[in-house]
């Protein structure tokens, strides 16, 4: 039996520029740590080899230090690693791979396939058919030639490619770097290991996307895994088992507040997040002053506990109740201003937005003032 670990889309060196600096560096660091975990997993599971289906690096221009650190992260598994470039780290004439070679950073047990020549391993005996991208975008199917490639009889044939299976993924993203559906069967492959799609996904009984082992966006497409693949021998169907590998869990949440209990639910949900969570939160609807206070407190408290919380309250309308306004004791001129702002915040134009912000600010200030007077 052959047992291998299939992974892809490590995107080492990704910058996460939309995050605060400390979160961005933690997220980038996690990607290397997860590769160390993959090496450990490969050793623990006693796999015969590790296949990396492209986009090892996020960009050609990653720092030399990052290149060295990535290859050092493989040290925990002494068996063979076989990798191909993807679209982010395409095997150009001058690429991150040629630089890695010049730096002498690539360990002897790592094979980087920069040409489509089959790689034959003696132990375990098998043939790997790679389809490395040599440019970022192609419109021809690089796995087309697999069927015509002869490999020694009796050796399992394993394909390794990076691209979009035609007709499988959402519209618009399957036009470049195409891989024909049904390629594994058509090219007599025992298994076809794919990269590019960042979620873990079965294509057919002999073909899978591993997905990225460390989530890198809010798509919620079942990323953060690697695949253990067992092959009893040539012709046998592979047994594929996803293994969770990711450190961080990414959440994209929208919370619409319409009644008081919606606020309770949001506060409760935020309380459930911890250090491994990366959250993008958008709050819409409306709330009174007390609700607004609770939400802001919960967001502040959660932000101090999780890896990252980006909260967007710009679509949340502050609707002070009559009691809120009365309690603010804003009479005279101030009362008139508040009335005007309450009416002004209806609508979707820029002026309504300004009125909402002003009302929230003013009500919040008065609220604070009252709080400090009470102390």
The footprint of Mn ion (CB under 5 A) covers 9, 55
Go through 193-202 and write b for each residue having 16 or more CB atoms within 10 A of its CB, e for each that does not: bbbbbbbbbe
Identity of the residue, 37 or 55, whose beta carbon is nearer to Mn ion in the bound complex:
55
Within the chain, strands assigned E span 2-7, 49-53, 81-84, 110-112, 119-121, 126-131, 157-162, 164-165, 178-179, 191-195, 201-204, 207-209, 225-231, 239-244, 249-257, 277-287, 308-312, 316-318
Identity of the residue, 55 or 288, whose beta carbon is nearer to Mn ion in the bound complex:
55
Nearest approach in angstroms of CB 196 to Mn ion is 6
Beta carbons of 286 and 313 less than 8 angstroms apart: no
Nearest approach in angstroms of CB 109 to Mn ion is 24
HSE at residue 255, side-chain half, CA atoms within 13 A, is 28
Contacts of 371 (CB under 8 A, 6+ apart): none
Closest-by-Cβ residue to Mn ion is 55
Identity of the residue, 9 or 48, whose beta carbon is nearer to Mn ion in the bound complex:
9
Q: Give the neighbor-by-neighbor strand order of the sheet with 207-209.
A: 119-121, 126-131, 157-162, 191-195, 207-209, 201-204
Nearest approach in angstroms of CB 11 to Mn ion is 6
Nearest approach in angstroms of CB 9 to Mn ion is 4
Nearest approach in angstroms of CB 58 to Mn ion is 8
Identity of the residue, 85 or 285, whose beta carbon is nearer to Mn ion in the bound complex:
85
Which helix (H) or strand (E) segment holds residue 41: the answer is: helix 21-44
Between the alpha carbon of residue 347 and those of residues 194, 258, 294, 354, the distances in Å are: 49, 17, 25, 11
Identity of the residue, 157 or 198, whose beta carbon is nearer to Mn ion in the bound complex:
198
Identity of the residue, 7 or 308, whose beta carbon is nearer to Mn ion in the bound complex:
7
Cβ neighbours of 366 (radius 10 Å): 20
Nearest approach in angstroms of CB 216 to Mn ion is 8
Nearest approach in angstroms of CB 121 to Mn ion is 25
Identity of the residue, 55 or 214, whose beta carbon is nearer to Mn ion in the bound complex:
55
């Amino acid at each position: 039996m052959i047992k291998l670990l299939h992974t892809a889309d490590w995107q080492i060196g990704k910058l996460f520029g939309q995050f605060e600096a400390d979160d961005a560096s933690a997220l980038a660091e996690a990607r290397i740590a997860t590769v160390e975990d993959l090496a450990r997993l490969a050793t623990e599971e006693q796999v015969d080899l590790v296949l990396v289906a492209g986009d090892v690096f996020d960009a050609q221009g990653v720092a030399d230090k990052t290149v060295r650190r990535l290859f050092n992260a493989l040290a925990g598994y002494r068996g063979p690693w076989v990798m191909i470039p993807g679209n982010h780290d395409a095997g150009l004439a001058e690429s991150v791979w040629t630089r890695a070679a010049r730096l002498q950073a690539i360990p002897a047990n790592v094979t980087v396939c920069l040409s489509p020549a089959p790689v034959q391993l003696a132990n375990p005996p098998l043939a790997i058919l790679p389809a490395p991208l040599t440019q970022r975008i192609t419109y021809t199917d690089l796995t087309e030639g697999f069927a015509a490639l002869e490999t020694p009889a009796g050796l399992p044939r394993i394909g390794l490619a990076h691209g979009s299976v035609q007709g499988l993924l959402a519209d618009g993203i399957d036009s470049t770097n195409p891989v024909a559906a049904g390629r594994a069967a058509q090219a007599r492959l025992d298994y076809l290991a794919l990269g590019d799609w960042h979620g873990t996904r079965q294509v057919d009984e002999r073909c899978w996307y591993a997905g990225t082992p460390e989530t890198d966006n809010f798509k919620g497409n079942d990323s953060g895994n690697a695949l253990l693949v067992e092959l009893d021998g040539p012709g046998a169907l592979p047994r594929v088992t996803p293994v969770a590998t990711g450190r961080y869990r990414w959440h994209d949440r929208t919370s619409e507040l319409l009644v008081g209990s919606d606020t309770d639910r949001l506060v409760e949900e935020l309380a459930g997040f911890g250090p491994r969570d990366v959250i993008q939160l958008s709050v819409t609807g409306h709330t009174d002053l007390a609700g607004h206070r609770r939400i802001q407190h919960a967001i502040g408290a959660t932000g101090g506990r999780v890896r990252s919380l980006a909260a967007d309250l710009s679509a949340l309308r502050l609707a002070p109740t009559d009691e809120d306004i009365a309690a603010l004791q804003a009479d005279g001129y101030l009362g008139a201003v508040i009335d005007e702002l309450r009416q002004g915040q209806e609508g979707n134009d820029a002026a309504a937005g300004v009125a909402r912000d002003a009302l929230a600010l003013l009500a919040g200030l008065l609220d604070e003032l009252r709080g400090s007077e009470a102390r």
